[in-house]
Structure 1
Amino acid sequence: MVQEIPVTKNIDRQREKSERFEVAFNQIHEKLKNLVKFAENDHFLELLHRARNQHSSIRHYFDDLKSYARLRNALVHERSKANFYIAEPHTEVVEQIERIAVFLSTPPSITSIASAKVKTYEADEEVKDVLQDMQKYSFTQFPIYNNGQFSFLLTEGGMRSYFTSRLKGNTIDLSGQKLKDIRPCENTNTVKFVSKKMNIFELEDLFEERVQKGDKLEAVIITENGSEKEMPIGLISPWDLIKTENN
């Protein structure tokens, strides 16, 4: 004999999932309000579209959140009476929107996407020795220090400019050349030091602000407290942000 489940229990379960969905949706809505600066209005979909342009994490969840907005409208605006929902979100949907709400409320630290190791050099080291070392590593950016103080970021672009300036006929003479000699070929305003406590959203805002100013960040260097006098514990390039979007 099939045991019948009381109707009231079904209604209670439906209400519980619907209320959990609403709570998570409202938490996400509040986070979007904080993420989007100078929004013309605080409508969920308007904020969602604008946040997508600034944050890779929002782009990752964009389709889900857009669908949840439609479901939320059905739950709230088509409710036939108090505490009674005509639609019920699936358990998987409730659990997913709750995961998204938690992620947006407590985004991971930037150390989660930073390079595991940062290879540094002293400004007085010879260029030829560094070139030999570079063959051992897959890095393309190297912080250069002068007696423990950050001096500049060595990049592929700077190296090309430097080699071009040293080109004599078909040869490049590197004898006696130090890393500090490359510094004039590098833009020293393309690096930003930040604390390891910064989160991904704050990092993306940092890159976006520089773009809006017509500037560019080659790299963000992570230290314990964001000081140039501290040795790096991680490095993030624009490419690292692109990789997180594709994951």
Structure 2
Amino acid sequence: MHKERGGTMPDNSDRYLAAFNRIEKALRTQVGSDEYQTFSFMVREASKKNAVVKRYDNDLREFADLRNAIVHNSTNPAFTIAEPHDSTVEKIKMIEEEIIHPKKVFPTFQKEVIIFQAKDSLAKILKIIREHAITQFPVYEDGKFLGLLSESGITNWLSKNVKEDIISLVETELHQVVSHEEEQQNYQFVDRDMSIYDAKEIFKDNLDQGVRIDALMITENGKEDEGFLGIMTRWDFLRIK
């Protein structure tokens, strides 16, 4: 049944088309596409570098089909053949918000990051684990990032030194322990403006390649010599839907 469009309040088709057009404009900007490229082409290209678009790839294609039904199947601009359901309008508006204003790693994972020095003792770090339940520890040496020490690295060091009659946790320095991480590149620095979905893709892509990332260190521009703004661990990665 045709529905007449009019009045001062926008109906669902108006709200839907407005959201779709904003998404289309955002995708066109992201991929640097001209006005003649199809929506499906822009979705495909944007998915290659935007995890949010990749996440909603199928939804976006379905949105395009409905948009075509609303616009192209109507012979009279005053009428619409397909009127989106309220839930569909809310869904496209939600996805629009995530594409245009994606949730960022900062301030989502903003937290105090405790930094250690290469000559700090293993006893010091074990005390922090007990008191603060922290499991990832950036280690610096002479102002340069040395590596990310994790519980796994500590366990590996202990297992390889357990044959010693005496293990001195106070005398053991962190530079001796950090080299026992299974993955020496078990971290990555990311900038504060990265979306949480792009961050999730880093964990996932590395897992697919058989590499375990323990944490993403968040700084202003994703550089090692910048102050920490937060940290996103692999446990945080598992909690992102």
Q: Say whether the fold is shared (TM-score over 0.5).
A: yes
**Which residue does 1:220 correspond to in 2?**
216
- RMSD in angstroms over aligned alpha carbons? 3.8
Distance 1:92 1:205 in 2: 28
Structure 2: any 5+ residue segments left out of the alignment? 32-36
Distance 1:32 1:159 in 2: 45
Q: How does 1:128-207 map to 2 (within 5 A)?
A: 128-168=123-163, 172-186=167-181, 187-207=183-203
Distance 1:85 1:64 in 2: 22
Using the TM superposition, give the Cα deviation of residue 154 of structure 1 relative to its aligned residue in structure 2, in angstroms. Answer: 0.7
- Counterpart contact for 2:5–2:78, Cα < 8 Å: no
SS state at 2:6 partner: helix
**Which residue does 1:4 correspond to in 2?**
none
Q: 1:107 and 2:102 equivalent?
A: yes
- Map Cα deviations across residues 16-56 of structure 1 (whole Å, 9 max, x no partner): 53133123224445667859xxxxx9775x959x96xx947
Identity %: 29
Relative to structure 1, the CA distance from residue 65 to residue 138 in structure 2 (aligned partners, 3 Å threshold; closer, same or farther) is: farther
Using the TM superposition, give the Cα deviation of residue 191 of structure 1 relative to its aligned residue in structure 2, in angstroms. Answer: 1.5
**Which residue does 2:227 correspond to in 1?**
231
Distance 2:25 2:204 in 1: 21
- Map Cα deviations across residues 155-178 of structure 1 (whole Å, 9 max, x no partner): 121111100011027874435111
Which amino acid is the alignment partner of residue 177 of structure 1?
T
- Counterpart contact for 1:221–1:236, Cα < 8 Å: yes
Using the TM superposition, give the Cα deviation of residue 73 of structure 1 relative to its aligned residue in structure 2, in angstroms. Answer: 4.8
Q: Could you tell me the TM-score, scaled by structure 2's length?
A: 0.74
SS state at 1:176 partner: coil
Distance 2:177 2:6 in 1: 70
- Counterpart contact for 1:15–1:84, Cα < 8 Å: no
Which amino acid is the alignment partner of residue 244 of structure 1?
I
Which amino acid is the alignment partner of residue 129 of structure 2?
M
Which amino acid is the alignment partner of residue 100 of structure 2?
S
Distance 1:215 1:42 in 2: 37
Match among 5, 11, 20 for residue 5 of structure 2? 11
Q: How does 1:82-101 map to 2 (within 5 A)?
A: 82-90=77-85, 93-101=88-96
Distance 1:42 1:205 in 2: 26
Distance 2:26 2:96 in 1: 9
Which amino acid is the alignment partner of residue 128 of structure 1?
A
Relative to structure 1, the CA distance from residue 91 to residue 10 in structure 2 (aligned partners, 3 Å threshold; closer, same or farther) is: farther
SS state at 1:132 partner: helix
- Counterpart contact for 1:190–1:217, Cα < 8 Å: yes
- Map Cα deviations across residues 98-147 of structure 1 (whole Å, 9 max, x no partner): 23212211212211332522122111111112212210112211111123
- Counterpart contact for 1:126–1:179, Cα < 8 Å: yes
**Which residue does 2:114 correspond to in 1?**
119
Q: How does 1:22-37 map to 2 (within 5 A)?
A: 22-28=17-23
Which amino acid is the alignment partner of residue 5 of structure 2?
I
Alignment: residue pair count: 229
**Which residue does 1:5 correspond to in 2?**
none
- Counterpart contact for 2:192–2:222, Cα < 8 Å: yes
Structure 1: any 5+ residue segments left out of the alignment? 1-8, 36-40
- Counterpart contact for 1:15–1:83, Cα < 8 Å: no
Relative to structure 1, the CA distance from residue 241 to residue 127 in structure 2 (aligned partners, 3 Å threshold; closer, same or farther) is: same
